Structure 1
Amino acid sequence: MTQQQLPQWAKDYLHYIQVPVREPSQSYLKEMITAHLNRIPFENISTLLHYKKYHEEKKLVPDAKKFVKQLFQQDMSGTCYMLNSSLHQLLKQLGFHSRYTFLGGGHVALLVRLPGEEEELYVDVGNGAPFFEPIRIETDPGNVSEYGGIEVRLRPGDEFGTYKYYRYVDGTLLTDMDWSFDTKKIYQFDDFQPAIQKYFRPNGVFTSVLRCQIWQLSQKRSLSLVNNVLSIRYSNRKIEKHILNDRFEVRDVIENEFKLPKLPVEEAIEILEGMGINIFQEPTEKAEA
């Protein structure tokens, strides 16, 4: 595979995450997903901006070309549906075998196979979780993806090919993210449309709150903004929380801490206000997940 063989959107995608074209391998896959998590945020600003359009069209279509355009023009990315579907399309262009898997009836991730191998690796850049390398769920049942007190463990289920997702924050299991998935099932993106319809419902998890999260491994930390609460979690498990008092402080954090100067966060705040949601009314109790 050479750069000349790739479509322009794929070249631009790799340029954005600052990763060159290489032959498919486990180390290359790790390089890509680590760069992805450090460069592209998990955010619902794009969800709020697309809220009206979705309810007019009644369908979400994965479009990697549009996704990359949004990255460059607005620093926008999305949540699991857009993040993992776009990476899925990129991986296929680069010679990986990639397919979807579906966790808990609402979260989309990927199963990726390397050339010449039979085992599929779990890959997930749309979860705000420390999946900095592909997970060999078949041959490494004791796997732990960990950073700064956040741990995710993928464990075999009761039936062959099934697994459970467990997420711990500072030793506490998050029961609302206790997901199961079946690797034997084959999915097309349209299979997720009923779940996406619930995702875009009024007052949903991502339509009633402002959220942006990114990893900054070079600074040994991760950033999580939930409404007006900024949480900074360091690799040594130290946590700082800052209450932001107005949209100017939110803009300052997005621009200078997250390094996402084009992200239209003010517009997202206005959309929430139009729904009767004031993100500055009181601190969000669940300010980090």
Structure 2
Amino acid sequence: MREPYARYLQLLGFDQTPHGVEGLRQLVRRHVIRVPFENISKLLLIRRERRGRPTTLNEYLDGLERHDLGGTCYTSNPFFAELLRELGYDADLLGCDMTRVNVHTAMRVRVDGSAYHVDVGYGGPFYEPLLLTDSPHEMRQGPYRYVLDRARDGRLAMNVFTGEERVHGYLVNEIPREREFFTSIILDSFRPAATFMTQLCVFRYFEDHAVQLQNNVAVHYRAGESGETRISSMKEIREIFENQLRLPRCPVEKAIKTLEQLTGQDFFAMGEGDLYV
């Protein structure tokens, strides 16, 4: 296998090449667990270079290997699609509509004549590739219910509910895209008022639980239950990263200082932010 994909596979914990449907299941699960959803890497880029730009695959892997970083949908899904293709899977990168067109990404993967929806860049509990012919699919995490089904216009839709209220989601566009298609959208995500320039987000999934950090509030999900911890100091946030998120090498303090400079606010006075904006 060519580099840097061999390195990518090794960082996901594989010493042999995965194949077929079972291989895809293992790849998706390990990616969701190994690679955090976070915007710290975006804030650190602004700190270093004073501007936004697309991340390269080698930078993405360096962040994962050396600093316990991951990424958002603009890195995790495109790079994972490339890895799947390198492994011989028929994988397309797709744009998805939220409040605007093509501001999210997802994947369509075909194996043995069956098509699957894959999304390792949403921050949701999508541990498995979702077989399209078996929809609707429903996944739960704390108060949130994630439903993959067809929308009225026939497009595939991921909807997030609390109770019966839809709070977020996306519609999948079926046109395959190259990673470069999203360059202008990525640059726009670095605007001063953009979601990931105005709050801190980290979602980490484990085999039997998950931890979600939004600004100074950490939420813990396990077995359908949830509980939160409010953080009031850098010492406490370091403890969260080391003991709960288990990302001890992540330079979160630098990201927080950058966020304070961008927003003009004290981080611990910002409130928990809004995941679904």
Same fold (TM over 0.5): yes
1:257 alignment partner in structure 2: 244
2:196 alignment partner in structure 1: 206
Matched residue type, 2:214: V
> How has the CA–CA distance of structure 1 residues 230 and 43 changed in structure 2, closer, same or farther, with 3 Å as cutoff?
same
Q: TM-score, normalised by structure 2?
A: 0.89
Pick from 260, 270, 274: which aligns with 2:257? 270
2:139 alignment partner in structure 1: 145
> How has the CA–CA distance of structure 1 residues 174 and 248 changed in structure 2, closer, same or farther, with 3 Å as cutoff?
farther
Matched residue type, 1:178: G
Q: After the TM superposition, which segments of 4 or more aligned residues of structure 1 sit over 6 Å from their partners?
A: none
Task: Decide whether the 8 Å contact of 1:243 with 1:283 is kept in 2.
Answer: no
Task: Decide whether the 8 Å contact of 1:208 with 1:277 is kept in 2.
Answer: no
Pick from 51, 56, 64: which aligns with 2:57? 64
Shift of 1:80: 0.7
1:242 aligned onto 2:211: no
Moved more, 191-200 or 34-43: 191-200
- Matching of residues 63-142 of structure 1 within 5 Å: 63-104=56-97, 105=101, 106-114=103-111, 116-117=112-113, 119-137=114-132, 139-142=133-136
Gaps of 5+ in 2: none
Q: What secondary structure, in the 3-state scheme, does the structure 2 residue paired with 1:80 have? A: coil
Q: What secondary structure, in the 3-state scheme, does the structure 2 residue paired with 1:144 have? A: strand
Matched residue type, 2:169: D
User: Structure 1 CA distance, aligned partners of 2:2 and 2:85?
Assistant: 12
1:155 alignment partner in structure 2: 149
Q: Percent identity?
A: 25
1:186 aligned onto 2:176: yes
**Structure with the largest fraction of strand:** 2
Matched residue type, 1:181: V
1:39 alignment partner in structure 2: 34
Aligned length: 272
Task: Decide whether the 8 Å contact of 2:145 with 2:161 is kept in 1.
Answer: yes
2:214 alignment partner in structure 1: 226
Task: Decide whether the 8 Å contact of 1:100 with 1:109 is kept in 2.
Answer: yes
Q: What secondary structure, in the 3-state scheme, does the structure 2 residue paired with 1:280 have? A: helix
Shift of 1:215: 0.9
Gaps of 5+ in 1: 1-5
User: Structure 2 CA distance, aligned partners of 1:282 and 1:92?
Assistant: 42
When the two chains are superposed, the root-mean-square deviation of aligned CA atoms in Å is: 2.2
Matched residue type, 1:229: V
Q: What secondary structure, in the 3-state scheme, does the structure 1 residue paired with 2:4 have? A: helix
